Structure 1
Amino acid sequence: MLDAAIRAAQPSRCVPPYLPQLPKGRLIVIGAGKASAAMAKAVEHHWPGELEGLVITRHGYGQPCDRIDIVEASHPVPDAAGQDAARRLHKLVSGLTEDDVVLSLISGGGSALLAAPIDGITLEDKQDVTRALLASGASISEINCVRRHLSALKGGRLALACAPARVINLLISDVPGDDPIDIASGPLVPDPTTCADAIAICKRYGLRLPLNVWKVLESGRGESVKPGDPRLPQIETHIIAAPQASLEAAADVARAAGVTPLILGDSIEGEAREVGKVMAGIALQVLRHGEPMNKPCVLLSGGETTVTVRGDGSGGRNVEFLLSLGIALNGVQGVHAIAADTDGVDGAAEIAGAILRPGTLAKARALGISPQQALGNNDGHGFFGAVEDSVVTGPTLTNVNDFRAILVI
C-alpha cells in the first residue's frame, strides 16, 4: 500500500497532463522541493520546444536533466547552497515579457530549499528560526506562515518578479488541505496572512528568536503579497498530486487483497503521540465490536502531525505516532501498522518510518528497551532501529506527506 501511494504521486505520471501550450516567447522552468528535480525531468522529456530553467531540490533527490539546471541544497534547515540558488532563480525570471511563460514546479520541502532571507535577516537567523519552529510543535501551516514573512521570495514575492510573464504553477501537495499558499510557503501565489499572524504564532509557542527577526515582523517589512495586488501577473495553479489520491491508490491495493479500506482523512494533524492514541482506540473498537467496520480492514490516513521535542533522541512524526500507537495497543494480537513519510525522510533521518507488529513491544523489552522511555525521549528511530523494523525507501522523488495504515485482521 505504501508503494502504491508513492507511485500515484510520481512526477513522471502527474506532470505531463498539465504542460501548457507552446508560448509565443520563452518557457522558463523554475522550482523548489523534494520532487522538483523529478518534475523537471518529466517536463524535459515531454516538452516539444525550447526551454531553460533552474530548480532546487534536497541533497540526494537530483535527477539528470539537459536543459534545466538542478541544484541540491539542505533540508529541513536551509543552507548557503539553497540561498545562492534562490538568488540565481530570482535573476532568471527577471526581465521577462508578457509573451513568456514561467512554469513553476513546487513540492514539499521548498520552504527550506528556496532560502532567500528578507533584507535585515541573515541566513543564520533563518536557520535559528527554522530549528525553533520545527521543535515547537507548531503545525506546518503555522510554520510556513512565519517563513513567508521572513522571505524575499515566498508569500507571492517570486510571482511579482515574474511579471508580466504568465505563471503556471504545478504543485505536488504535502500539506493538510492542499492550500497552495502552504506548499513551499507559496512563492508564486498571493498570501492572505499577515505579519501580525506570524507574530501571534511565535508568541503562542514561546519562541526565542533573533532580535532581527522580531524587528522585521513588528515593523511590517515582512508583509507578503496579498490577493488582488495589481502588480501580480496572470497566475494559473494546478494541484497535480495530493495525499487523497495516494490514499485511494492504497485503498485499491487493500481491496484487491480482500481487505476493506477505510480512509479516515487525508489532512489529520495534531501531536503525533496523541493521534497514535486515538488511532489505537479505533483499531480496538474494530477488534472488540466490529465498528466502524468488521475485520479484516485497514484504517488509512494522511496529513502531517507534529512533535514537540522534549528529549534528545532520534525521531520523526511517523515513528513517534507508531510508538505511541504501539504503547496504547499494548501487544494486542491482530493489529499491524506502518507509518512513513512519502518523501522517504521522517524528521531529519534518512529513514521513511517504521512497521509496528503485535510483538514489537515485547521484542524491545527483551532487548532491555523501554517503549515509554523511548517515546519520552523522542527516540522513535532508535527504538524501531533496535527491533529492526525501520522502513528505508531512499529518495522517492515525490512528497505527498505522511502515509499511515493500520491493518486489523
Structure 2
Amino acid sequence: MLSKDPTRFLRSLFDRAVEVADPMRSLADYLPSRPDGRVVVVGAGKASARMAEAVEAAWGPCEGLVITRYGYARPCQTIEIVEAAHPVPDEAGLLATQRMVRLLEGLGEDDCVLALISGGASSLLVAPAGAISLTQKQAVNAALLSSGAPIDQMNTVRKHISRVKGGQLAAAAYPASLLSLMISDVPGDNPAFIGSGPTCGDDSTADDAKRVLQQWSITVPESVRAVLNQPTGVIASHDARLSKTQNVMYAAPLQSLHAAAQLAQDHGVEANILGDALEGEARLVAAEHAKQALQIQASMSDTDAPIVLLSGGELTVTRRGDGVGGPNAEYCLALALALNGAEGIHALACDTDGVDGAAEVAGAVIGPDTLDRARAKSVDASAALNINDAHSFFAAIESQVITGPTLTNVNDFRAILITPASV
C-alpha cells in the first residue's frame, strides 16, 4: 500500500485516528453503573449525538437532550437530538439551549446528570448574556474565528458573554450530582476549554476577555461591552455549586496519534509524533514542517525505512481574503508551496470531525506533483494562499479529503510521509 499509493497509506492513518476516538468504541468503559433515581442526559458538540447513542447502548433509554451539528444526529431511543449550526451559532441552538437549562431546573440532591461534551459545544450551546442578541453573538463569534486567535483565548471571550459556559451549565444542575464525559479537541486537553467549559469552573475575569478582544483588534457592540464591564456569570473553580461535579476526559488527540503511529509501524514506517498540542498560524507551521521534512530526507540513505511525522493540535488562520478555506487545507497548501515539488514527500492534514473550517471537507492531501497538477489546470497556488482559498484550490485538483460526519472530534490530524529522495 505504501509503495504503490502513499495517499492511500496516509488516509489509512487518518481513518485509524478517527476510528479509535469513536464513542461507540470507548465511552462505555468510562460509564459507571446506571444510578438509581432520576438520570438526565445533556450535552453538546459534534460528537455528542454519537456519545448519547453509546450511553443508551450501555444504560438503555434515558431522559435528556443533546445538541449537535447539522448532519451529525444519531438514532437514539429517548434522548432527544437537536441539530444546530456550527461554527457560527443559530436560533436552533439558542432554543435548544433554553430547553436544556429548563430540563436541569428543579433537580434535587438525589438526582444525577450526565453531560456529554465535545468540540463544537462553544457554538452549539447558545445563551447570550445580558442584552446581547443572537445576531450580535454571531458577529462576535465570526470575528473571533477569523482573527487568528488561539482557541483558549477565543473561548475565554465566549465564556464571559454566555449564560451556560464557564461552569454555568453545571451550576444550573446543582444540587444534583453531575458527571461530565469529554472528548478533547483543544491543545493541552484542558477541560475548561473544551466547548468553553460548560461544566468546568474558570478563574478568568471579564477583564481577561476584554484583553483578548483588544489584542486581536475585535470590535464588539455596546451590549457585549456592557456585559464585560461588570462581573460575569462565569463560575469560579472553588464555587460550592461545582462541588458535586466530576469532569472526566476519556478521549484525546494523543490516543489517536499513538494508534496511527502503531499502524504506520506495522507497515514498516518509522513514526515520529511531533506533538498533540501544536498551535500557531497554519501557513507558518507548514513552512517549519516542510523545512524539517527536507532536513530529515537529506539525512536518509537509499536503504532507510520511510518516516512519517504525525502531529495534532489546533492551528489557526488569520483571514486575509474572501476565499473558502480552513486551517488543515491552508496548512497543506502552504506545505506544498514550501516543499516545491520535492520528490518522496507526501502529506495529509484533516480535522477528525470531518469539517475543516466552515467547509464540508475534512482536509487535503499533497504530493510531489501537487503544484504541477495545479499549473496544468491554470490554478495559482500562491494566489489561493494569499486569499485563504485553499479548499477551492484542492477541489480544482481533486485532492480534497471528504469523509462526511465522523461523529467524533479529537482535533486536527497531520501526517507527512518521507521516503528517500531517490526511491
Q: Once the 2 structures are TM-superposed, how far is the Cα of residue 24 of structure 1 from its aligned partner?
A: 3.2
Query: Structure 2 matches for 1:116-195, cutoff 5 A?
Result: 116-195=127-206
Give the CA deviation at 1:69.
0.2
State the Cα deviation string for residues 204-250 of structure 1 (Å, max 9, x = none): 01111111111111222x24110111233411111111000000110
What pairs with 1:285-324 in structure 2 (closer than 5 Å)? 285-290=295-300, 295-324=305-334
The answer to whether 1:100 aligns with 2:99 is no
Quick one: which amino acid aligns to residue 342 of structure 1? T
* CA–CA distance in structure 2, aligned partners of residues 119 and 196 of structure 1: 16
1:231 matched to 2:241? The reply is: yes
Aligned ranges 1:326-365 → 2 under 5 Å: 326-365=336-375
Q: Secondary structure at the match of 1:304?
A: strand
Structure 2 equivalent of residue 278 of structure 1: 288
Structure 1: distance between partners of 2:271 and 2:287 = 20
How far apart are 1:98 and its partner, in Å? Answer: 1.3
2:9 matched residue in structure 1:
none
Quote the Cα distance in structure 2 between the aligned partners of 1:242 and 1:231. Answer: 27
Residue 366 of structure 1 corresponds to 376
In structure 1, the residue matched to 2:63 is: 52
1:69 to 55, 61, 80: 80
Letter in 1 for 2:289: M
Give the aligned residue type for 1:208: T
Deviation for aligned residue 1:315 = 0.3
Moved more, 66-75 or 232-241: 232-241
Secondary structure class of the residue paired with 1:207: coil
- Answering whether residue 42 of structure 2 is matched by residue 30 of structure 1, we say yes
Instruction: Work out the CA distance in 1 between the residues paired with 2:174 and 2:37.
Output: 14
Match of 1:11 in 2: 23
Shift in Å, 1:295: 4.5
SS of 2:236's equivalent in the other structure is coil
Normalising by the residue count of structure 1, what TM-score does the alignment of the two structures yield? 0.97
Identify which of 387, 398, 401 aligns with 2:411: 401
2:217 is the alignment partner of 1:206: yes
Distance 1:265 1:217 in 2: 35
Q: Secondary structure at the match of 2:16?
A: helix
Task: Give the TM-score taking structure 2 as reference length.
Answer: 0.94
Structure 1: gaps of 5 or more residues = none
Alignment partners' CA distance in 2, 1:192 and 1:5: 33
Q: Determine what percentage of the aligned residue pairs are the same residue.
A: 53
Q: Distance in 2 between matches of 1:317 and 1:336?
A: 18
User: Any stretches of 5+ residues in structure 2 without a counterpart?
Assistant: 1-12
Partners of 1:384 and 1:295 lie apart in 2 by: 29
Distance in 2, matches of 1:308 and 1:231, equals 38
Code of the aligned partner of 2:33: Q
Taking the aligned partners of 2:236 and 2:33, their CA distance within structure 1 comes to 28
Report SS of the residue matched to 1:305.
Answer: strand
Preserved CA contact (<8 Å) 1:280 1:325: yes
C-alpha contact (below 8 Å) 2:168/2:233 kept by paired residues: no
User: Residue 128 of structure 1 aligns to a residue in which SS?
Assistant: helix
* Separation (CA, whole Å) in 1 of partners of 2:51 and 2:35: 20
- Taking the TM superposition and a 5 Å limit, the aligned residue runs for 1:381-392 are 381-392=391-402
Give 2:120's aligned residue. Answer: 109
Work out whether residues 199 and 247 of structure 2, in 8 Å CA contact, stay in contact via their aligned partners in 1: no
Opposite residue 270 of structure 1, the aligned amino acid is G
CA distance in 2, matches of 1:240, 1:230: 25
1:315 and 1:200 map into 2 onto residues whose CA distance is 27
Check whether the contact 2:163–2:233 (CA below 8 A) recurs between aligned residues.
no
Letter in 2 for 1:407: L
Aligned-residue offset at 1:21 = 2.4
